[in-house]
């Protein structure tokens, strides 16, 4: 499939005329949206049919006249036309708009996009999204009533939630989150939901999004601040394929990646180009070593369409196509919503390219893993409370916030690093912070203060979380730990401005570390969780159920023989 990238655009009388010149870039696979001579145009706030009329074919490219069948929302800024001769085409139209959605706005989006369905999404304890889809006509019959009553579902089918004896739950859609799904064939408006307990009409105490809402409310009620900003940086790998088996007589996995260092001796399609990053050599080389530019750009185009502002994208350190897309910070719940949407887009774009994306912290042995550094700041009355005249431009409030995170870090690990795989990343010498210390610029510390030129940008960066964390739970827990530090004036001590990986033994022993296993982290959470209960943000029931839920992960790993054990012990 050829991607025509050099595009001239002329907008006239509500129509679009494009002359496209072919580049040499090619996709392995892409979903074609060609339907009976028409193309469905997908974008945030817009899904219109375009009739494509081939007027001329020339040697250097293709020329089309495109006439919108229905009006859209916003201003078209850029177009990309992909053509698979002779009959398939794909349009990705980038719109730049910011819409504050009320129920009226959400209904308008459903109507103007001519949506056939509304997709209701929510997140479970593990951080996995689930969805129920209803015909759009049901929403439009009585929008006010529908948004109030939402959709009933069986909570007992969600791991770690209610039992079958009290399983009725309710999804309450948040109209501010509505967008047009960029992947479904039928036009579908997606709305993120809170999970409501019908017994009291309040947010379910195990619903991650409701927990995040309560954390924001607690910040305001504390009087410390009125807004918490979060900016996560989830890294991920994109592989050509993956296979894994877990049976009583066989356990294995195998990753296929043309850009993996191990692929230098393989023949792919009868050849091997030789251009790939070495171990720990993947950070930001240009093509052809970086083979993911167009893939990431496709992801970025859709993220921007959904209103998620992208600041940068690049390849990361790990071999095998490790990547990062940096996005703008937002308030706690909104940024958690966006993180879930971001994962959805990344995994689906990779899938449509014939590849597979994973947010596992450590899928490859012997190279860097994927983290999710979380930038944070607290504001009040439009002022950044973390800006001051202290170390690295921080205020005492910021230092106390850091002190709270360091004090509770081991308990936080159970939430910010919630998988057994998380602790294969948290080892020295792979750019993963294991030492509980803070520093300006020093990336070996678990808390870093980024260098900035403006007091408004002053923030702290927690570097130990990883992208298997549920963003609603992780952001809420980090905020609660930081607020505990502020309320109790927990000073973090002196900063660590030296490489913490190379300390002499006597100094190394004095610096606390993050947990070494999920089992240790769950034990720490069991012993230290009072700070999470304040304001009813987390409940004791949630703490107990979460620990029991995650202990099952520990048990499964503990009981499974590992291939390395055969290497080490089989012949003894």
Query: Which sequence positions are flagged as catalytic?
Result: 154, 233, 235, 316, 324, 373, 443, 461, 463
Half-sphere exposure of 374 (CA within 13 A, CB side): 30
Q: What is the DSSP letter of 357?
A: E
Binding site listing for Mg(2+): 233, 235, 316, 324, 373, 461
How far apart CA 48 and CA 263 sit, in angstroms, is 43
Q: Are strands 6-12 and 46-58 parallel, antiparallel or unpaired?
A: unpaired
19-48 burial, b at 16+ Cβ within 10 Å, e below that, comes to bbeeeeeebeebeebbeeeebbbbbbbbbb
Rounded Cα distance between 518 and 3, Å, is 45
What is the rounded CA–CA span in Å between residue 189 and residue 136? 8
User: Which strand (E) or helix (H) includes residue 309?
Assistant: none
Q: Residue 443 and residue 214: Cα distance in Å, rounded?
A: 32
Backbone phi, then psi, for 382, in 5-degree steps?
A: 80, 5
Cα torsion through 103, 104, 106, 111, rounded to 10 = 140
Residues 93, 138: Cα–Cα separation, whole Å: 29
Q: How far is CA 69 from CA 50, 113, 184, 261, in A?
A: 6, 12, 20, 49
Q: Are 350 and 411 in contact (CB under 8 A)?
A: no
Distance, in Å, from the CA atom of 15 to the CA atom of 55, rounded to the nearest integer, reads: 15
DSSP string, 118-148: EEEEEE-TTS-EEEEEEEHHHHHHSHHHHHH
Q: Residues annotated in the binding site for ATP, as ranges?
A: 311, 375-377, 443, 456
Instruction: Return the bridge partners of 6, or none.
Output: 21
Can you tell me which residue has the tokens 């809402």?
Answer: 213
User: Which 3 state secondary structure label does DSSP give 395?
Assistant: coil
* Helix, strand, or coil (residue 347): helix
Query: CA angle, corner 89, sides to 85 and 95, nearest 5?
Result: 150
Q: Give how far Cα 138 sits from Cα of 73, 142, 398, 505, Å.
A: 23, 8, 48, 67
The enclosing H or E element of 290 equals none
Q: Is 63:52 a contact under the CB 8 Å cutoff?
A: no
């Amino acid at each position: 499939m050829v991607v025509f990238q050099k595009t001239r655009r002329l907008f006239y009388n509500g129509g679009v005329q494009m002359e496209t010149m072919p580049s040499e870039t090619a996709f392995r696979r892409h979903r074609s949206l060609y339907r009976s001579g028409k193309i469905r145009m997908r974008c945030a706030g817009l899904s219109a049919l375009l009739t494509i009329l081939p007027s001329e074919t020339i040697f250097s490219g293709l020329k089309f006249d495109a006439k919108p069948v229905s009006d859209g929302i916003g201003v078209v800024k850029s177009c990309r036309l992909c053509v698979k001769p002779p009959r398939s085409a794909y349009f990705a139209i980038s719109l730049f708009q910011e819409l504050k959605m009320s129920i009226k706005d959400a209904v308008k989006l459903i109507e103007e996009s001519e949506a056939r369905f509304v997709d209701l999404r929510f997140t479970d304890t593990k951080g996995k999204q689930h969805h129920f889809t209803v015909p759009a006509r049901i929403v439009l019959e009585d929008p006010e009533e529908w948004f109030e009553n939402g959709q009933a579902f069986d909570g007992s089918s969600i791991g770690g939630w209610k039992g079958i004896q009290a399983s009725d739950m309710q999804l309450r859609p948040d109209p501010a989150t509505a967008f047009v799904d960029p992947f479904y064939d039928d036009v579908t408006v997606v709305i993120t939901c809170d999970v409501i307990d019908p017994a009291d009409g309040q947010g379910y105490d195990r619903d991650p999004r409701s927990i995040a809402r309560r954390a924001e409310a607690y910040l305001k009620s504390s009087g410390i601040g009125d807004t918490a900003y979060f900016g996560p940086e989830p890294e991920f790998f994109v592989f050509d394929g993956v296979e894994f088996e877990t049976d009583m007589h066989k356990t294995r996995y195998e990753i296929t990646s043309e850009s993996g260092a191990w692929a230098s001796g393989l023949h792919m399609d009868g050849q091997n180009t030789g251009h790939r990053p070495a171990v720990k050599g993947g950070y930001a080389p240009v093509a052809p070593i970086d083979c993911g530019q167009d893939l990431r750009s496709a992801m970025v185009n859709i993220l921007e369409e959904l209103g998620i502002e992208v600041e940068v994208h690049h390849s990361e350190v790990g071999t095998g196509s490790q990547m990062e897309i940096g996005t703008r910070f937002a308030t706690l719940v909104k940024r958690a919503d966006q993180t879930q949407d971001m994962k959805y887009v990344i995994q689906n774009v990779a899938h449509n390219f014939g590849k597979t994306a994973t947010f596992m912290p450590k899928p490859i042995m012997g190279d860097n893993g994927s983290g999710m550094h979380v930038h944070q700041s607290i504001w009040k009355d439009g002022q950044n409370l973390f800006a001051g005249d202290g170390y690295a431009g921080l205020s005492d409030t910021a230092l106390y916030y850091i002190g709270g995170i360091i004090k509770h870090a081991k308990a936080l690990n159970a939430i910010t690093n919630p998988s057994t795989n998380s602790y294969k990343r948290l080892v020295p010498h792979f750019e993963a912070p294991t030492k509980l210390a803070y520093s300006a610029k020093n990336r070996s510390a678990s808390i870093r203060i980024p260098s900035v030129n403006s007091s408004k940008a002053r923030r702290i960066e927690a570097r130990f979380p990883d992208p298997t964390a549920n963003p609603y739970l992780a952001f809420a827990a980090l905020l609660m730990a930081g607020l505990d530090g502020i309320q109790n004036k927990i000073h973090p001590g002196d900063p660590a401005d030296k490489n913490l990986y190379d300390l002499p033994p006597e100094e190394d022993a004095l610096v606390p570390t993050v947990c070494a296993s999920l089992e240790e982290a769950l034990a720490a959470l069991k012993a230290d969780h009072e700070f999470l209960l304040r304001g009813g943000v987390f409940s004791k029931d949630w703490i107990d159920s979460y620990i029991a839920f995650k202990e099952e992960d520990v048990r499964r790993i503990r009981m499974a023989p590992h291939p390395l054990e055969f290497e080490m012990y089989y012949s003894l």
